[in-house]
Amino acid sequence: MSASQPHTLGDVVVTMAGVGKWYGDFKVLKDVNLDVRRGERIVICGPSGSGKSTLIRCLNRLEEHNEGRIVVDGIELRHGMRDIDKVRREVGMVFQSFNLFPHLTVLENCILAPMKVRGTARAEAERTARLYLERVHIPEQAGKYPGQLSGGQQQRVAIARSLCMNPRIMLFDEPTSALDPEMVKEVLDVMVELAESGMTMLCVTHEMGFARKVADRVIFMDRGEIVEAETPDVFFDRPASERTRAFLGQIL
């Protein structure tokens, strides 16, 4: 049985319909169809090179798709679009490598975008930043520089920094893959708390304990396709596809 708490999902906030993408003549995404509802938690797994990063990067337009439609929070992502900043404000992203600014303190990392992009006053931005540093359990690190923190702490800062923009959707791309094993749990715990707070989340991760605990749906990608998209119960206990079974056999 899944430990995931039943919770109510809202309207569709992300639509991918017939999405295709090429890198040169290599087709990296093939006919991807996915609707994500508000409050939904999606875990995406699959072999290296299957297109997981590309899929989520298309959602905040770090990559452009070539075919089909993507709509994020009511805004259709299209070539030459003007309101890309609006989409990026609503969609937070946490990467495998924490991508913190090394020359800025933790607090300064957290207030930079709210002040520059949202135009928030410094005092207010700092108040919000301290709140989120509290939420990721490192309020005492506010004055330190990233290089003075452990990898797990840096990743929690990266999560807090994203949350400071008050995003409606959070994307995670293998957020624990670069961490030493003993630091994985402290980051996953923060992600579980975020999921339980109702955040809409798409997480690329191979942490299957996390998937069982919080995912509403687990998606398996292989060679640019969504092969399976199921509740954790079905996904882990009776996956339909042979490819999914083979993958699970390797990682579980």
What does the binding site for ligand ADP look like in residue numbers (CB under 6 A)?
A: 23, 28, 46, 48-54
CB-based contact 114:107 (threshold 8 Å): no
Q: Which does 28 bind (CB under 5 to 8 A by kind): Mg ion, ligand ADP, none?
A: ligand ADP
- DSSP characters over 14-46: EEEEEEEEEETTEEEEEEEEEEEETT-EEEEE-
> What minimum distance in Å lies between the beta carbon of 53 and Mg ion?
3
Nearer to ligand ADP, 9 or 62 (CB): 62
CB-based contact 173:93 (threshold 8 Å): yes
> What minimum distance in Å lies between the beta carbon of 99 and ligand ADP?
16
- Binding of residue 205 to Mg ion (CB under 5 A): no
Q: Which does 151 bind (CB under 5 to 8 A by kind): ligand ADP, Mg ion, none?
A: none
> What minimum distance in Å lies between the beta carbon of 211 and Mg ion?
16
CB-based contact 170:194 (threshold 8 Å): yes
Q: Which does 239 bind (CB under 5 to 8 A by kind): Mg ion, ligand ADP, none?
A: none
- Binding of residue 60 to Mg ion (CB under 5 A): no
Give the C-alpha separation, 48 to 34, whole Å. Answer: 20
Q: What share of the chain is helix, strand, coil (3-state, %, to 5)?
A: 40, 25, 35
Candidate list 53, 109, 120, 141; residue touching Mg ion; CB under 5 A: 53
- Positions touching Mg ion (CB under 5 A) are 53
